[in-house]
Amino acid sequence: MQKEKYRLQLPGPTPVPPRVQLAMSRPMIGHRDPDCAQLVQDLSERLRPIFGTPNPVLLLTGSGTSALEAAAANTVSEGEEAAVVVSGAFGDRFAQILDSMQVKVHRLDIEWGKACRPEELADFLKQHSRVKAVFLTFCETSTGVLNPIPELAREVREHTEALTIVDGVSCIGGTPAKAEEWGVDILVTGSQKALMLPPGLAFAAVSDRAWKRVEANTHPRYYLDFRQYRKSLEKANTPNTPAVSLFFGLEEVLNMLEEEGLENVYARHRLMRDILRKGIEALGLPLLTENRDASPTVTAVKGGADWSVEDLRKELRQLGVRVAGGQQRLKGKVFRIGHMGYADPLDMLSTLSALEVALKRIGAPVETGAGMKAAEEEWIRVSRVNH
Ligand SMILES: *Cc1c(COP(=O)(O)O)cnc(C)c1O
């Protein structure tokens, strides 16, 4: 196999489009140069529809987790109470961050593979109405669940005075988000998932209501202090040297998203999810999540009784397809296919084809072509409905 020709079907990092790669090779500019100021202002405004916020989006240099930590450090302090909905490894990460800050964490643990239901959150918050913030995960990357954020945010408003803080790292840019309309106070993401950039940038949309808390919060912070980012943004700047090359790339990503149209981008992601799921089902492999909870950006598939998930991943790697394994308690039990950003329906067919070959090679009882056939039929069915 050619070493450079492989398919990155991971839930991050995701493939970078050639024109974005090219944009990032532009000569460096000074981060206090007027050209950079123009760029910062432009990016923070053009990102707004992707988050559904009326406010300029904060641009942080750091991986997605830096935005999770920033969201926590700017809104809650030691000794205060916070609720975290843990539906997988990334909800757990939020809880760990809050634990490290000595915040009193109330965890609502949801069975991995399932979404949090609004009633469950409502019952939980009735017992913990003093919480200052409720931390939610939009797409739980470890399971492929898309939590129903609009409904969950409504329950937070109904039962508490708390802020609603959402980790949207593995879906923002691949699924609609309306932070303001839904009552989400902070919505964050990172660059290397649906935004088709290399790792290194994180983003935060902050509501007016959240800004009041950010101003008043006493937790110590420096690099991740939202107040500094806002002050700098007023001068079209960032507090420190940002990842300027990624800004060049982001500008090109926004061009691409605007050219395709956000609604079309989201429809493409739903289509990828649906044809992939049909294909996997037809191969007789169990999906971890039910259809109603399935994220348009990542799909988790359970392993079989007579073959190992890790053997399958090794075989797929040989064929030039990179898929992710399970995290924490799902390690060795599932594999995960990312389908976000620079990805299209044909990528799902090539993934299914490789999956069929790899499964055969490890001796799994599958019928070659069955997944491809079901996926193609779903693709055809959806195109008929849309014409
Ligand atoms: C990838 C991801 C993150 C951030 O991970 P980093 O490695 O810090 O970029 C956070 N939350 C979710 C849901 C993710 O998928």
Residues 277, 291 contacting (CB under 8 angstroms): yes
Name the H helices within the chain.
18-23, 34-46, 48-51, 64-73, 89-100, 118-127, 149-159, 179-182, 208-216, 226-234, 244-260, 262-282, 309-318, 345-361, 370-385
Domain 18-258 has CATH 3.40.640.10: yes
pLDDT tens for the chain, 387 residues long, are 788 899 999 999 999 999 999 999 999 999 999 999 999 999 999 999 999 999 999 999 999 999 999 999 999 999 999 999 999 999 999 999 999 999 999 999 999 999 999 999 999 999 999 999 999 999 999 999 999 999 999 999 999 999 999 999 999 999 999 999 999 999 999 999 999 999 999 999 999 999 999 999 999 999 999 999 999 999 999 999 999 999 999 999 999 999 999 999 999 999 999 999 999 999 999 999 999 999 999 999 999 989 999 999 999 999 999 999 999 999 999 999 999 999 999 999 999 999 999 999 999 999 999 999 999 999 999 998 877
Which residue has a Cα nearest atom 3 of ligand 1? 64
77 lines ligand 1 (CB under 6 A): no
Residues 8, 199 contacting (CB under 8 angstroms): no
Q: How far apart are CA 38 and CA 126, in angstroms?
A: 47
Q: Can you read off the two tokens belonging to residue 104?
A: 């009193």
**What class does CATH assign to 7-13+261-386?**
alpha beta
Shared fold status for 7-13+261-386 and 18-258: no
Q: Which amino acid is at 11?
A: P
Q: Which amino acid is at 254?
A: L
CA 167 to ligand 1 center in whole angstroms: 8
pLDDT given at position 2: 85
Look at the pTM and tell me if it is higher than 0.85: yes
| Residue from 92, 135, 138, 141 whose mutation best tests the ligand 1 pocket (most atoms within 8 A of CB) | 141
Q: How far apart are CA 190 and CA 196, in angstroms?
A: 10
**Around 203, how many Cα atoms within 13 Å sit in the side-chain half-sphere?**
33
200 lines ligand 1 (CB under 6 A): no
Cβ burial of 184 (10 Å; 0-12, 13-18, 19+) is buried
65 lines ligand 1 (CB under 6 A): yes
Residues 339, 297 contacting (CB under 8 angstroms): yes
pLDDT given at position 251: 98
Q: 149 vs 38, 153, 241, 261, CA distance in Å? A: 33, 6, 33, 23
- What lies within 8 Å, CB to CB, of 127 at 6+ separation is none
Annotated binding site: 336
12 lines ligand 1 (CB under 6 A): yes
76 lines ligand 1 (CB under 6 A): no
pLDDT given at position 37: 97
Q: 360 vs 20, 85, 310, CA distance in Å? A: 37, 39, 15
Taking each helix axis from N to C end, the angle separating 244-260 and 262-282, rounded to the nearest 10 degrees, works out to 80
pLDDT given at position 25: 98
Q: Checking DSSP bridges between strand 324-325 and strand 334-338, what pairing results, if any? A: antiparallel
Q: How far apart are CA 135 and CA 83, in angstroms?
A: 6
| Eight-class DSSP state of 293 | G
| Residue from 14, 166, 167 whose mutation best tests the ligand 1 pocket (most atoms within 8 A of CB) | 167
297 lines ligand 1 (CB under 6 A): no
Q: How far apart are CA 363 and CA 103, in angstroms?
A: 50
179 lines ligand 1 (CB under 6 A): no
Give domain limits for the chain. Answer: 7-13+261-386, 18-258
